[in-house]
Structure 1
Amino acid sequence: MFRALIFCLSILSVSISCPAEEQEPLKPKPIQVEASDWPWWRGPARNGIADSSQNPPLQWSATENILWKSPIQGRGYSSPTVVGNRIFLASADTENETQFVLCYDRETGKQLWKTVVFTGGLSKKGNKKSTHASSTVACDGTKVYINFINNGAAYTSALSLEGRLIWQTKITDYIIHQGYGSSPAIYQDLVIVSADNKGGGAVAALNRATGMVVWKIDRPATANYPSPIILEVAGKEQVLMTGCNLVTGIAPLTGKKLWEIEGATTECVTSTVTNGELILTSGGYPKNHIAAVKADGSGEVVWENSNRMYVPSMLIQDNKIYSVTDNGVAVCWDVKTGKEIWKGRLGGTFSSSPVLVDDRIYVTNEAGETYIFKASPKEFELLGENKLGTEVFATPTFCDSRIYMRVSQEGDGKRQEMLYCIGRK
């Protein structure tokens, strides 16, 4: 009954919180995550690069190098978030019309709790590949944050580590086109979120303790799908947004636009990466497009091409770009010139993003086939190929030489998602 009241109140106001006796101080607690955690989308540095000291396996199957597996209720493409002894996932049950967050024990895979954030209000529109839980949870060590589209609006919700709903804030009205998958980004006292859509979206920063809006920027009325990514480039940390025919750099604490140029096509999905001087943008509608842009305020486009990296995000290491096209070609480019160094055929269609671990890149296609190849500018070198399940859209998470993977298995007309922990036995 309490959550039903919260939902009704959130329709009428910008932000709701717990009763006065349960409210927390206005000043958020310090971020408390460890180097061995994977606290938000694209990992600790927000660039898809894992701790290089890890040594995850090169081989696995349904029976080999599986430390544990646990069933996932509902359906979603939210990637595993790992902090402390907990793993968090967002999911949704279309039959019961619920959107919820799940928490698992990191060592055993036992489900610890499930918190329903919304009941009802699910749209029937969207791409067949989309889900009602495609946003990845962010965790600051004291709370978890998740974005959902519900009842025609984008909401960010904060839960305690024990699953108690603390606050919920409406970001903007939202018209579903293909779907929604933007993930929250934690920065100092803020959680930064975005919700671009055909009705006119927004990028906003919320106080982590209260959910109150600290700053908010209106966005053009076009469909668009990236998450806000905060990276240090051109000597300063910036919130980087691509799409809506724009590339934008924003000061994370104030919301001030540092620079903005036309570019990056209308609809983008990938999260941008940087070598500290250039940021990489890519889009897939209305045309395929990759560009290297200076983020020093000039917005100069240094180079561009027409390759299709629409969904999988790219990686940068030692001024080399490593990526996988949507149709399964691994590519290495020089980040400064855009010159192609090599390419190699993998197989299948890719929606999951690659992850770099030391000198190895792991990437999984939609059929559950994971390819491992070397991050080397010399040549394409395939190191391994593994199959698990029948469908994978979520990007795997790498912590302590273990791989946490969200996998779907279909058989006898039924579909079941599983959370796997892959590691050396």
Structure 2
Amino acid sequence: MTTRSSPLPARLKSLLLLSCFLGGIGLMHAENWPRFRGPSGQGLSTEKRLPLHWSATSNVVWKVAIPGEGWSSPIVWGKRVFVTTVTDQSTRCRVLCLDRDSGELIWDRTVFEIVPLRKESKNSYATPTPVTDGKRVYAVFGDGSMAALDFKGGVVWTNREISFYSRHGLGASPVLHDGLLIMPFDGSNRVLKAGIWPNTSDEERLGWQIPWDKAFIVAVDARTGRRIWTASRGKSRIAHVTPNIHGTGRKAELISPAGDVIQGFDLRTGERLWTAYSQGEGVTPSFAMGEGLVFTASGFEKTTIRTLRLGGRGDVTSTHVAWEQRRGVPSQPSLLYLAPHLHSVTDGGVAHCYQAASGEVIYAERVGGNYSASPVAGAGHIYFLSENGETVVIRQGAEFSVVARNAIQEKTQASMAVSNGRLFIRTAGNLYCIGSKH
């Protein structure tokens, strides 16, 4: 006599099928990292599991040499990784596309040839991180030239009408919003007509140490590259801060700090909505947002973390400053908001944690090393990537706890990208994919 297993109840079958389906979705999901500092522009990853331990030879999925020089961060969309660089004595501007899982080069496109101009020694002509909408990748290079490429490497459009000159070079990155590609140009005075430089010390200092009225923000049509609007800052000083978007729909506004001002702009017209005056120049750290506040850092001269309440109009300097803090101010790494805390790491390697609502210092602990890259957070940890290639991993929260120190021992200034449970780290010569081999 044969026996038969009794069939599973229909409800149990449905639950099992649903569980498998949801589990499959979980395995298939891989977070895109489409711009500088990720989806929100704030260095925050939603990945549930990220690597904690690696070296130059362990837990390396792949390592690929990147030609030339550039400190743009890699970006990731689906199974594509994009990175920009300049080669041939910084005259050829190139966009590279690699396979996310293998590192194989898919295409390498030269989009411009430029004349290298003056820049800060730590800067490069390929410092702006590209941005993608999943259909095209948009790149900006050190002289202000812009290009859009499709995912097959075809050049869709170029825009070379923006001439940007600065004693430090270009350091901010573009953002995309509602069909607009937006880029700030917060330079200093540089009269470069057939190689002519300013003749007086005041001219040389204009925009750097003396406020200048020529800084601007440009929005171009992401489909065509045609300029839609240009916003004037008024008088301001040099900066390299990547802007970000606050709000949605018709209430969305562009927040864009410069050297000694923090400003909000109408995204449809470029109209300047509000300004808070600050003290500083050469500002590089990108700001953080949360709890109705925007957290900014002026890292040179009178170094200050300045926190503003959003929602004002006009001059909000005396009405919307929530708090200021002079301890732990970075001059290059960006701020990181993880409710209810704000985190920073100084250029000299001291990590700070603050109460985001008040600015009270919770801890200040030395992590060691020197820092240019911005921290990222994900899966319960914060990752600080130093200039010598060491990543210090700490736990999120109000108690300082180092989980790991991971050394690649190659120079790096680019911020890491996060996708598919892996970290993408750019060094002076290579791009690493860190994690387990799925």
Match in the other structure for 2:229: 215
The question of whether the paired residues in 1 share the 8 Å contact of 2:236 and 2:260 is answered with no
The question of whether the paired residues in 2 share the 8 Å contact of 1:147 and 1:182 is answered with no
SS of 2:32 mapped into structure 1: coil
Match in the other structure for 1:397: 417
Match in the other structure for 2:405: 385
1:142 equivalenced with 2:154 (yes/no)? no
1:58 equivalenced with 2:52 (yes/no)? yes
The question of whether the paired residues in 1 share the 8 Å contact of 2:279 and 2:301 is answered with no
CA distance in 1, matches of 2:279, 2:436: 41
Match in the other structure for 1:369: 390
The question of whether the paired residues in 1 share the 8 Å contact of 2:236 and 2:258 is answered with no
- Cα deviation for residue 399 of structure 1 reads 0.7
Structure 1 residues 388 and 107, CA, compared in 2 at 3 Å: closer, same or farther?
A: same
Q: State the identity as a percent.
A: 31
1:315 equivalenced with 2:315 (yes/no)? no
Match in the other structure for 2:368: 347
CA distance in 2, matches of 1:238, 1:331: 29
CA distance in 1, matches of 2:236, 2:325: 26
Match in the other structure for 1:82: 76
Query: 1:259 aligned to 264, 274, 289, which one?
Result: 274
SS of 1:130 mapped into structure 2: coil
- Cα deviation for residue 265 of structure 1 reads 2.1
Match in the other structure for 1:338: 359
SS of 1:172 mapped into structure 2: coil
Root mean square deviation, CA, Å? 1.8
Match in the other structure for 2:301: 286
Count of aligned residue pairs for this structure pair: 377
What whole-Å deviation, never above 9, does each CA across 1:207-260 have from its counterpart, x for those lacking one?
Answer: 110111111112346321111211339x94321111231110112233222211
CA distance in 2, matches of 1:174, 1:363: 31
Match in the other structure for 2:172: 182
1:206 equivalenced with 2:220 (yes/no)? yes
More strand by share: 1
Calculate the TM-score normalised by the size of structure 1. 0.85
- Cα deviation for residue 48 of structure 1 reads 0.6
**Off by >6 Å, runs of 4+ in structure 1:** none
Match in the other structure for 1:45: 40
Query: 1:91 aligned to 57, 79, 85, which one?
Result: 85
- Cα deviation for residue 94 of structure 1 reads 4.6
CA distance in 2, matches of 1:396, 1:310: 18
Q: Counterpart amino acid of 2:352? A: V
Calculate the TM-score normalised by the size of structure 2. 0.82
Q: Counterpart amino acid of 1:422? A: I
CA distance in 1, matches of 2:101, 2:216: 38
- Cα deviation for residue 332 of structure 1 reads 0.5
SS of 1:173 mapped into structure 2: coil
Structure 1 residues 195 and 96, CA, compared in 2 at 3 Å: closer, same or farther?
A: closer
Match in the other structure for 2:23: none
Match in the other structure for 1:30: none
Match in the other structure for 1:197: 187
Q: Counterpart amino acid of 1:420? A: Y
CA distance in 1, matches of 2:378, 2:40: 13
CA distance in 1, matches of 2:356, 2:416: 25
Extract unaligned runs of 5+ from structure 1: 1-33, 409-416
CA distance in 2, matches of 1:45, 1:333: 21
Q: Counterpart amino acid of 1:46? A: G
Query: 1:269 aligned to 265, 270, 284, which one?
Result: 284
Match in the other structure for 2:98: 104
What whole-Å deviation, never above 9, does each CA across 1:391-424 have from its counterpart, x for those lacking one?
Answer: 011111111111111123xxxxxxxx11111112
Structure 1 residues 210 and 276, CA, compared in 2 at 3 Å: closer, same or farther?
A: farther
Structure 1 residues 194 and 73, CA, compared in 2 at 3 Å: closer, same or farther?
A: same
SS of 1:383 mapped into structure 2: strand
Q: Counterpart amino acid of 1:205? A: A
CA distance in 1, matches of 2:182, 2:323: 29
The question of whether the paired residues in 2 share the 8 Å contact of 1:289 and 1:306 is answered with yes
The question of whether the paired residues in 1 share the 8 Å contact of 2:93 and 2:110 is answered with yes
Match in the other structure for 1:163: 153
The question of whether the paired residues in 2 share the 8 Å contact of 1:148 and 1:156 is answered with yes
Q: Rg larger in 1 or in 2? A: 2
Match in the other structure for 1:296: 311
- Cα deviation for residue 191 of structure 1 reads 1.0
- Cα deviation for residue 74 of structure 1 reads 0.6
- Cα deviation for residue 165 of structure 1 reads 1.6
SS of 2:225 mapped into structure 1: coil
Moved more, 156-165 or 91-100: 91-100
- Cα deviation for residue 171 of structure 1 reads 5.9
SS of 2:247 mapped into structure 1: strand
Q: Counterpart amino acid of 2:401? A: E
What whole-Å deviation, never above 9, does each CA across 1:357-391 have from its counterpart, x for those lacking one?
Answer: 032001110010100001111x1110110001320
What whole-Å deviation, never above 9, does each CA across 1:41-100 have from its counterpart, x for those lacking one?
Answer: 1111111100142x1111101211011111101111111110122110010115262111
Match in the other structure for 1:15: none
